[in-house]
Amino acid sequence: MPPNPNSILHVEGLTKRFRGLTALENYALDLEPGEILGIIGPNGAGKTTVFNLLTGLIEPSAGTIIWKDQVISYKSPRFIASQGIIRTFQNIRLFNDLTVLDNVMIAAQIHKRYGLVATLLSLPSFVQEERRLESWCMELLDLMGLAQYRSRPAGSLPYGEQRKLEIARALAARPELLLLDEPAAGMNPSESWGLMELIRKIHDTFNLTVLLIEHDMRVVMNLSNRLQVLSYGKIIAEGQPQEIQTHPQVIEAYLGRSAAYV
């Protein structure tokens, strides 16, 4: 497949084997700027493996990942984050001991512009930059409706708010591509509906491109411009949400029950 000239993320032949198990085989993806692409599939289909590979947390067995004309397969997670690809985690991974504000500040400081000497001497460059980072973080917490929790330890937040904080934290790093791994997991229908609106809002506000893994069909069908369906590590279908809902193989592998009430 020739690279799509518009795509900012081009993936081809991506394969990951864990010893004998092939978690992902020959995965391909072309992502256009501003797109929201949903990835669905049964548990163990390889969805999170895609995220782990894209963010460099695990190394691919084969394949290429190109982000804006730059090969990023085999790069470190830190490098990939610095290039504007930021993710959230399926099992929430906040810094529980730290305050809500500090959680967000940690992500924001990826773009800090002061050094160790300026820090230790409290030079104006340090003081001003800390203020700038803090006001940016407070802006985000406001947007996500978390501002009133700013001084509370992240681990003490209610579950739904922790999910939102993960997204706020990811946004603080000013990503261009945001990878959301089951953001609505464990939420009740009204919470997940609110989250959906929120994701749409941040997508529009920050001109984000979004990759979304989600089991809640209502959320994923409403948000995504395009869907990929994974099963046993392979893409079994790709297309518009409407096409996917009527795709016989998908219904068989996964949608079955859910499709009825979308």
Partner 1 sequence: MLNRREKTCTLVALALVIGLLALANSFLNQYYLRLINVMGINIILVVSLNFTNGLTGVFSLGHPGFMAVGAYTAALLTIPLRQKAFILPDLPAWLAQAHASFPVALLAAGTVAAICAFLIGYPVLRLRGHYLALATLGFLVIVQVVVTNVSQITRGARGINGLPPETNIWWVYGITIALIYLSWRLVHSAYGRGMMAIRGDDLAAEALGVNLVKHRMLAFTLGAFFAGVGGALWGHLITVVSPNAFSFAQAFILVVMSVIGGMGSITGSIIGAVVMTLIPEALRGLEVGTTIAGFHIPPLYGLSQVIYSVALIIVLAVRPQGIVGLREFSMRRWLKN
Binding interface with partner 1 (CB under 8 A): 55, 57, 76-78, 81-82, 86-87, 89, 93-98, 102, 105-107, 109-110, 112, 114, 116, 119-120, 122, 126-127, 130-131, 169-170, 173
Q: By C-alpha distance, which of 222, 224, 252 is closest to 238?
A: 224
Reference 9, options 75, 68, 63; nearest CA is 68
Nearer to partner 1 (CB atom), residue 168 or residue 221:
168
Q: Is 138 helix (H, G, I), strand (E, B) or coil?
A: helix
Nearer to partner 1 by Cβ, of 87 and 247: the residue is 87
Rounded to the nearest 10°, the torsion over CA 158, 163, 164, 168 is: 130
DSSP assignment string, 201-245:
HHHHHTT-EEEEE-S-HHHHHHH-SEEEEEETTEEEEEE-HHHHH
- How many Cα neighbours within 13 Å face the side chain of 98? 13
Which distant-in-sequence residues (6+ apart) come within 8 Å of 38 by Cβ?
A: 212, 213, 214, 220, 221, 223, 224, 226, 227, 228, 241
Dihedral through CA 73, CA 48, CA 182, CA 140, nearest 10? -30
Minimum distance from residue 186 beta carbon to partner 1 (Å):
18
Kindly state the smallest distance separating residue 189's Cβ from partner 1, in Å: 28
Closest distance between partner 1 and the C-beta of residue 259, in Å? Answer: 33
Instruction: Specify the residue, 26 or 109, whose C-beta has the smaller distance to partner 1.
Output: 109
Amino acid code (one letter) for 209: T
Looking at residue 256, its amino acid is G
Smallest gap from residue 99 Cβ to partner 1 (A): 10
Shortest distance, CB of residue 168 to partner 1, whole angstroms? 12
Name which of 64 and 82 has its Cβ closer to partner 1.
82
Return the number of the residue (24 or 108) whose C-beta is nearest partner 1: 108
Shortest reach from residue 106's CB to partner 1, in Å: 5
Q: Could you tell me the smallest distance in angstroms from the CB atom of residue 105 to partner 1?
A: 6
Q: Which is nearer to partner 1, 88 or 231 (CB)?
A: 88
In order of 90, 145, 169, 174, 261, the CA distances from 164 in angstroms are 12, 9, 9, 16, 26
Q: For partner 1, give the closer residue by CB, 64 or 109.
A: 109
Residues paired with residue 29 on neighbouring β-strands, in sequence order: 11
